[in-house]
Amino acid sequence: MTTNGLIQILFYLIALTALGYPLGIFMAKVYRRERTFLDPMLGPVERFLYRLSGVNADEEMDWKQNAIAMLLFNAAGFLVLYALQRLQPMLPLNPQGFPAVSPDSSFNTAVSFASNTNWQGYGGETTMSYLTQMLGLTVQNFVSAATGMAVLALFLRGLARHSAKTLGNFWVDLTRSVLYILLPLAIIVSLVLVSQGVIQNFSAYKTVQLVEAAVDANSAPLTEQVLPMGPAASQIAIKQLGTNGGGFFNVNSSHPYENPTSLSNFVEMLSILLIAGALCFTFGRMVNDMRQGWAVYAAMTLVFVVMVGSAYRAEQVGNPAFEKMSIDQRASSVNSGGNMEGKEVRFGIANSALWATATTAASNGSVNSMHDSYTGLGGFVLLFMMQLGEVVYGGVGSGLYGMLVFVIVAVFVAGLLVGRTPEYLGHKIEAFEMKMSSLLILFMPITVLGLTAFALVTEAGRATIYNPGAHGFSEVLYLFTSQGNNNGSAFAGIGANTPFYNLWGGIAMIIARYWLAIPTLALAGSLASKKLVPVTEGTLPTHTPLFVGWLIAIVLLVGALNFLPALALGPIVEHLMMNLLF
C-alpha cells in the first residue's frame, strides 16, 4: 500500500462524514415533516401530487397497510418497465432501432430495477433505447431508492413511538424522499458530471475514423469506430445516489462517457455511500438520541475501513506468477505496481479497491474496475461485504434497517448473557421481535446458498460457466450473492443472460427485497405498539464503544457462520492455489 493511496482513502472517509452529518439532519426534518429551506419551492408541488393521486397526507397507516401500499406500487413499476422493454421497437426515442428485449431478460431487468438491485445481464448501449433508459430505468432508480427510504422512515417511527398503532404513510414518505432528497441531489451531481464530460444528449450514435488502423479477430482491417451516445449523466447521478448501480453503458463506470476524470470518479464514489451513511444520523435525530446514530455509523465505518484495507493490500501485493517472470510489481513514480488486470490506469489500485468495497458495501453494484480480475483475497472481500447482508452502509434505507435488526439481535444476546430482559430504545425485545429478526437474517443465506447449489447441480446452470474450478464456483456464488442482496455487481466470467439465470436470479431479487421488507414493517409495528420501558441502571447502553464492538462481532459472526464454507471452496482456494502454484 502506498502513502498516496492511503491519503486518498482517508480523504474520502472525511468527506463522507462531513457531508453525511448535515444531510442526515436534513433528512430527519423531511421525514418529521418539519419545515426546510426547500419547502417554499417544493411544498406546492408536493401538495399538488397528493391531490392528483388522492392521497390524504395526514392519514397514517398501520404496518400491514403500509406493506400493501409498498407492494402494489412496486408491482406497478415492474409491469411498466417490463412493457417498455417488450414494446421498445414501437416507441419513440429509439434512434438505433433496437428490437424488443427477450421475455426472460425483460423479466429479470424489470425485477432488478424495481427492487433496487440493478443487475444487468445485457449491454445497455446495444439493448435499451433512450426512452427505456429514461422512462424505465432512471425512473425506477428514483422510486426504488425512495421505497427503501420510505420503509426505513416507517421503521424508525416504530423505534421512536410507544403505544402507537400507526407508523406513518408510505405514500407521503415515498413522495418526500424523491422530491426533497433524491431529486435535488441528483440534479447537483448530474451538473457536476456533465461539467467533467459525462454525456447527456439524444443524438444517434456517431461513427468516427480511427486514428490508427487496427484489425478484428479475423484479421480484417478496421478503420472506423461507433461511439454510443445518450442521456447518461442524468441516469448516472441517481444510480449512485440511490445505490442502484445500473450502468448506462455495458462496462458501467469504467466507461469514459460515464466516468471520465478523477473528479467525476470521486464524486460518483462519494455519492455511493452518501445517503446510506447520512441515514445513520437521521436515525439518531428521529429517536432523539444522536449517540445511537453515531454508534451505528461507527460500527459500519470500522468494518468498512478494515475491508477496504484488506482489498487494497491484496491488490497492491499483486500476482506471485509475475514475480517468477521477473515483472516488477513494486509501486513507484512510474509504476502503479500490484495487480492492475481489469483496472483503469487513470484510477489506479487505491481508487479501484475503494470503489469495489464501497459498491459491495452499499448494495450499489456499479463498478470502475473488473471484479472478476481481482485476486483471490480481493474477491473474498467483495463477496464477504455482500454476504454480511448489505448492512455496512447498505442500500439507501434497506442497509440501515438491516443493521438495526442486527442491533436488536445484539441486544437480545447480550440480555441473555447477563440474565436481563433485553430492551432497546425503551422497547422490550420479546419473542415476536426475535422471530422477525431471525427471518430477516436467515432468508438471505438460504436463498443465496440454495440457488448456488441448484445452479451447480443443474445442466442449465453449468452450461454457461466459462471458467473451470474454484473461480467458476466463485462466479456462480457471486452471481446469487449479488442478486440475493440487491447489489447488482458481478464476476463477469459467466453467461448470465440465459433463461435459467434470468428466472432464478429474478426470484432471488424478489426475495431479497420484499421478503425482507415485510418482516421489517411487521417488526416496526410490533415495536411501536409496546409501552415505554424506562431506562434504569440495569439497561444495556447501546451507544458505547463496547456495544459498537459487540455489534460488529455479531455481524461478522453471522456472516462467517453462514458463508465461510462456501468462501473456502471459492476465493480462499483461489488464493491458496495462486500462491502455492507460483
Which uninterrupted H or E stretch holds 423? Answer: strand 423-424
Q: What span, in angstroms and rounded, lies between the C-alpha atoms of 234 and 163?
A: 44
Q: What span, in angstroms and rounded, lies between the C-alpha atoms of 529 and 345?
A: 55
Q: What span, in angstroms and rounded, lies between the C-alpha atoms of 59 and 167?
A: 10
As a whole number, mean pLDDT of residues 120-141 equals 92
Task: Look at residue 195 in the predicted model and tell me its pLDDT.
Answer: 96
pLDDT tens digit string along 495-516?
Answer: 999 999 999 999 999 999 998 9
The separation between CA 78 and the C-alpha centre of its own chain, rounded to angstroms, equals: 19
pLDDT band at 483 (very low <50, low <70, confident <90, very high): very high
**The residue to which cell 476524470 is assigned:** 261
pLDDT band at 123 (very low <50, low <70, confident <90, very high): confident
Q: What span, in angstroms and rounded, lies between the C-alpha atoms of 24 and 18?
A: 11
**How far from 181 is each of 6, 145, 188, 200, 243, CA to CA, in Å?**
31, 11, 11, 22, 14
Task: Look at residue 57 in the predicted model and tell me its pLDDT.
Answer: 93
pLDDT tens digit string along 319-370?
Answer: 887 777 777 777 777 777 788 888 998 898 999 999 999 999 999 989 999 9
pLDDT band at 581 (very low <50, low <70, confident <90, very high): low
Task: Look at residue 121 in the predicted model and tell me its pLDDT.
Answer: 87
Taking the CA atoms of 271, 273, 274 and 279 in sequence, report the sign of the dihedral they define: positive
Domain count, the chain: 1
| Residue 582 reports pLDDT greater than 70 | no
Residues paired with 168 in a beta bridge: 61
pLDDT tens digit string along 1-57?
Answer: 788 889 999 999 999 999 999 999 999 999 999 999 999 999 999 999 999 999 999
Mean pLDDT for all residues in the chain: 92
pLDDT tens digit string along 279-302?
Answer: 999 999 999 999 999 999 999 999
Q: Please, where are the H alpha helices in 287-375?
A: 290-317, 320-324, 348-361
| Rg, the chain, Cα only | 23
| Residue 134 reports pLDDT greater than 90 | yes
The separation between CA 60 and the C-alpha centre of its own chain, rounded to angstroms, equals: 29
Q: What is the DSSP letter of 90?
A: G
As a whole number, mean pLDDT of residues 402-414 equals 93
Q: Which residues are CB-neighbours of 332 under 8 A, at least 6 positions away? A: none
Domain span at residue 76 reads 3-581
Task: Look at residue 418 in the predicted model and tell me its pLDDT.
Answer: 80
